[in-house]
Amino acid sequence: MNKKQKKNLIRIIIAAVMTAALHFIPVTGVLQFVLYMIVYLIIGYDILIKAFKGIKNRQPLDECLLMVIATIGAIALALYEKSGDYIEAIAVMLFYQVGEWFQSYAVGKSRKNITELMDIAPDYANIEEGNGQLTKVDPDDVEVGQIIVVRPGEKVPIDGVVVSGASSLNTAALTGESVPRDVKEGDSVISGCINLNGLIKVQTTKEFGESTVTKILELIEDASSRKSSSENFISKFARVYTPAVVISALVLAFLPPVVLLLLGKDPVFGTWLYRALTFLVISCPCALVVSIPLSFFAGIGGAGKQGVLIKGSNYLEILSETKTVVMDKTGTLTKGAFEITAIHPDGIDAEGLLHLAAHVERHSTHPIAAAIRNAYANEADDCRIEDVEEIAGHGIIAKVNGKSVAVGNGKLMEKVGAKWRECHREGTTLHVAIDGEYAGHIIIEDVIKPHSKQAIRDLKRIGVKNTVMLTGDKKQIADKVAAELSLDTVYSELLPQDKVAKVEELLSSKANEKERIAFVGDGINDAPVLKRADIGIAMGAMGSDAAIEAADIVLMDDDPLKIVSAIKISKKCLAIVKENIWFAIGIKLACLVLGAFGIANMWAAIFADVGVMILAVLNAIRCMFVKGAKPEEA
């Protein structure tokens, strides 16, 4: 609670206690009036001042002014009718203040919570002095290439490379991923991660202003200035709502009495005036106006916590309307790294075949070689490897412990005279021959990510109609992946520019403007497609500025389930926004109608008004807690 909130809370309590006390004190006449007016002033003096300023600044529709007209009108009626019922005016002010106080408190609280969710901004960087002492400096003052020290428990302030030490980093603030990432000398580290155990020295590769954490913070700060159409609708609605209510109040105050008068009946001026004043009590559109941006802000904050960065409320809205998800294959649905998927040995055991192949591939830089070496961890044993000969377009031949081992494609097998056979599996086949005798083959593939299948299924479940895969790969491989993941459509053998054309084709062929098309890519060479789609989602973008720049939504790690989380959060958030819009407008209209017929009095009106706001605000805060997609146990 800030000072202002404390002060107002005290005022509210004093006024409430005094009102209750006055109810039981048997005073009448002038004394009663004076006592009630003191309470009225305690609770409403600031509104009176604001109303006066509203007149001075020619703002006739200032809600404070309207509140003052309503309450003073009610007091005047009480005087005129000698009813002594001043409590109503005080209650209206009191509840109005309670509403304002609650709004201020709740918004302040959630503002703080949401900012804390994304509190990844480092406060300082440690620089080692000549004598070994650490000095804390402003991260802004650290130059590129300088060495900073990150102790356990501290945040990595600036992007860089570890030059000494090893540790585990908690990347949860950036990716929502709770498994720590191990780093050692030579690994790059990203700002915003928390160092868990070891002390590391990091050579910075970027300035603080260019570091990941700063980019992300900027992005979140900017997000709420890109407004959604719901927010714009509410702003427009608010602008016409107040004048409309005031005009209806005027009509209600004068038209029925005049008509009654003309018909020769009792005009009951007082009754109609009272009903008109009731209208003014609900003329403030605050409940609506506050809950909508709050919902979006909470939604964006909640998504950020799960490693989904949304660049604006408008994107959250478009994302919720996504009916087609177009995905790149490599790096999005598949790992983009080769892995061994099968070993078919001939007259030798699988381990032995892999062992030999790994030795032959020891010095090769080809990605396939890396896959084989990764699969056989103890490659550096005491086997002798000599006479390594790389034959371009064929493979490698080397002597391992005196035996000539050839590892390569069919052409190489022909060359060494081995009787080789094709494999029934898709993927890249690596044949092995020992001294000219065929020894079997190893299948290497770009493997599908573990959660891809579940992600596609979950997308369908949450209302995505069409899942499309684009790839530059061969049709055979693409079709196999598409079949395995049960994708609806697949376009293969595409050049980068063809991908843009395909997305454009899909955009122009959609039946309805509201059926949005999202494109998910890893941000490497698909920036134009990210920009072209209704909504561009970049994946695994930690550290890639181009992707953060081009995309509307950035997934901090490369788990395809995050796509599902993002859409789920957007849908939930928009559902809450719609609930709030209809709920708040509905209650207000109902109050107006009931008020016009004299069924609802001022008490009911102010109760409804404040109540709606409190409920709408609480509902909006729910956006922060939407659950993302969880991986299913296999």
Partner 1 sequence: MKKTYKIDVDCANCADKMEKAASGTPGVKECSVSFMTLKMKVEFEEGADEAAVMKQVRENCKKVEDDCEVFI
Q: Which residues bind partner 1 (CB under 8 A)?
A: 50, 53-54, 57, 59, 63, 100, 103-104, 107, 111, 114, 221-222, 224-227, 235, 238-239, 284-286, 289-290, 293-294, 296-297
Across-strand partners of 469?
327, 490
d(CA 241, CA 282): 10
Residue closer to partner 1 (CB basis): 126 or 230: 230
H/E stretch holding 203 reads strand 200-204
**Minimum separation from the CB atom of position 501 to partner 1 (A):** 33
Residue closer to partner 1 (CB basis): 482 or 616: 616
H/E stretch holding 259 reads helix 229-262
Residue closer to partner 1 (CB basis): 118 or 405: 118
d(CA 287, CA 616): 7
Q: How would you classify the pairing of strands 200-204 and 181-183?
A: unpaired
Residue closer to partner 1 (CB basis): 161 or 238: 238
CA dihedral 77, 80, 81, 83 (to 10 degrees): 80
State which amino acid sits at residue 70. A
Helix (H, G, I), strand (E, B) or coil at 280: helix
532 secondary structure, DSSP code: H
Residue found under tokens 């992707």: 547
**Minimum separation from the CB atom of position 3 to partner 1 (A):** 13
Helix (H, G, I), strand (E, B) or coil at 390: strand
In the chain, the largest separation of any two C-alpha atoms, in whole Å, equals 122
Length reported for the chain = 634
**Minimum separation from the CB atom of position 581 to partner 1 (A):** 14
| C-alpha distances in Å from residue 40, one per residue of 8, 12, 462, 606 | 14, 11, 53, 16
Which member of 328, 522, 559, 609 is catalytic? Answer: 328
Report whether 469 contacts 333 (CB < 8 A).
yes
Residue closer to partner 1 (CB basis): 283 or 332: 283
Residue closer to partner 1 (CB basis): 279 or 376: 279
H/E stretch holding 360 reads helix 350-360
Question: Among 121, 122, 152, 120, which Cα is nearest to 137's?
Answer: 122
How many C-beta atoms surround the C-beta of residue 525 within 10 A? 13
Residue closer to partner 1 (CB basis): 63 or 458: 63
Active site residue 534: no
d(CA 303, CA 562): 10
CA 280 to chain centroid, in Å, comes to: 38
**Minimum separation from the CB atom of position 263 to partner 1 (A):** 40
Please give the full DSSP string across 290-328, using - where no structure is assigned: HHHHHHHHHHHHHHHHTTEEES-HHHHHHHHTEEEEEEE
**Minimum separation from the CB atom of position 613 to partner 1 (A):** 10
Residue closer to partner 1 (CB basis): 103 or 167: 103
Describe the strand order of the beta sheet including 167-170 as a list of residue ranges: 181-183, 167-170, 194-195
Describe the strand order of the beta sheet including 395-400 as a list of residue ranges: 334-345, 437-448, 428-434, 403-408, 395-400, 385-391
d(CA 143, CA 166): 23
Radius of gyration (C-alpha) of the chain in whole angstroms: 35
Question: Is 249 exposed, middle or buried, given 0-12, 13-18 or 19+ CB atoms closer than 10 A?
Answer: buried
**Minimum separation from the CB atom of position 310 to partner 1 (A):** 14
Residue closer to partner 1 (CB basis): 273 or 620: 620
d(CA 589, CA 591): 5
Residue closer to partner 1 (CB basis): 156 or 289: 289
**Minimum separation from the CB atom of position 265 to partner 1 (A):** 40
**Minimum separation from the CB atom of position 58 to partner 1 (A):** 8
155 secondary structure, DSSP code: B
Across-strand partners of 113?
none
**Minimum separation from the CB atom of position 45 to partner 1 (A):** 13
| C-alpha distances in Å from residue 489, one per residue of 230, 466, 481, 590 | 33, 8, 11, 49
Residue closer to partner 1 (CB basis): 51 or 193: 51
As annotated, the active-site residues are: 328
